[in-house]
């Protein structure tokens, strides 16, 4: 039976997650050591919570388990949601609290659900004569037009006009933008972003809770730092 559970006090456990992922594949510690190239004694201590691993060894382990590093640090709530063992809900009441930039007024929704797999946004497209700014996100995006019309611009396809009640689903990594077609027209959309990259999704959730729409730039910078070799000596 599904149970409603709070997100509060939910902490990841590296050792427990490694053991869960290992057992889900039917592997013993010897098999995991062989597949990852890490000593069995080290893996035993990590599973027992007696030691941790540096980032390079975490990468080795994640590759062996055919997952990403973020999965090694999944919280009990994230695991319960993925397994269908948790029932949660969030209600957003009508609000006039919007943030605004040159082209959009926006409001992030359901931000109290810490481990949600989607980033829903109420978006108002504002007419502007400023140069068009394209979004580029690390995932997929669905948009439903509550009040149109609105133009959808992207690099790979011709511009399309969406009317009220119409929707679009796109690869959000493709540079794109929603544009008001004329002065005096303000379109309203519900747009939902999600990603299979759990590290990016974690950043996007955190950014949404602070009203920051630019998680992609932070993710790219973090990835570059992690992939930059450090010099010694």
Q: For 177-215, what is each residue's pLDDT tens digit? A: 999 998 888 899 999 999 888 788 888 888 888 877 667
Question: What are the structure tokens assigned to 141, written together?
Answer: 């995006």
pLDDT tens for residues 108-147? 998 888 778 899 999 999 888 888 889 888 889 999 999 9
Instruction: Give the total number of structural domains in the chain.
Output: 2
Domain match, 191 and 104 both: yes
Tell me, yes or no, whether 65 and 130 share the same domain: no
Question: Among 6-10, 33-37, 119-123, which is the least confidently predicted range?
Answer: 6-10
- Predicted pLDDT at 33: 95
CA distance 106 to 226: 31
Residue 192 belongs to a domain with what CATH number?
2.60.120.10
Residues 5/80, Cβ–Cβ less than 8 Å: yes
- The pLDDT of residue 80 is above 60: yes
Q: Which has the minimum average pLDDT: 18-22, 26-30, 100-104, 219-223?
A: 219-223
Q: In residues, how long is the chain? A: 233
End-to-end CA distance of the chain: 58
What's the pTM value of the predicted model, to 2 decimals?
A: 0.62
159 and 213 assigned to the same domain: yes
pLDDT at 4: 39
Domain match, 63 and 116 both: no
pLDDT recorded at residue 8 = 42
Structure tokens at 112: 């109290």
72: phi then psi, degrees, rounded to nearest 5: -70, -20
Q: Is the domain of 217 the same as that of 107? A: yes
pLDDT at 2 over 50: no
């Amino acid at each position: 039976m599904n149970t409603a559970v709070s997100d509060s006090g939910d902490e990841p456990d590296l050792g427990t997650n490694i053991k869960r992922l290992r057992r889900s594949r039917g592997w013993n510690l010897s098999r995991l050591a062989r597949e990852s190239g890490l000593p069995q004694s080290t893996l035993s201590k990590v599973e027992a919570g007696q030691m941790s691993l540096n980032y390079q060894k975490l990468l080795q382990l994640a590759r062996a388990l055919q997952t990403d590093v973020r999965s090694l640090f999944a919280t009990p709530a994230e695991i319960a949601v993925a397994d269908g063992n948790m029932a949660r809900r969030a209600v957003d009441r009508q609000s006039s609290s919007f943030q605004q930039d040159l082209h959009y007024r926006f409001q992030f929704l359901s931000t109290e659900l810490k481990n949600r797999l989607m980033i829903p946004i109420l978006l108002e497209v504002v007419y502007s004569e400023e140069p068009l700014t394209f979004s580029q996100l690390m995932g997929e995006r669905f948009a439903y037009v509550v009040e149109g019309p609105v133009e959808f611009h992207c690099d790979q396809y011709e511009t399309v006009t969406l009317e009220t009640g119409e929707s679009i689903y796109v690869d959000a990594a493709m540079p794109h933008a929603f544009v008001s077609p004329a002065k005096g027209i303000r379109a309203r959309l519900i747009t939902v972003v999600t990603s299979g990259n759990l590290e990016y999704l974690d950043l996007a959730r955190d950014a949404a809770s602070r009203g920051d729409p630019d998680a992609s730039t932070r993710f790219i910078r973090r990835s570059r730092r992690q992939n930059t070799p450090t010099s010694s000596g």
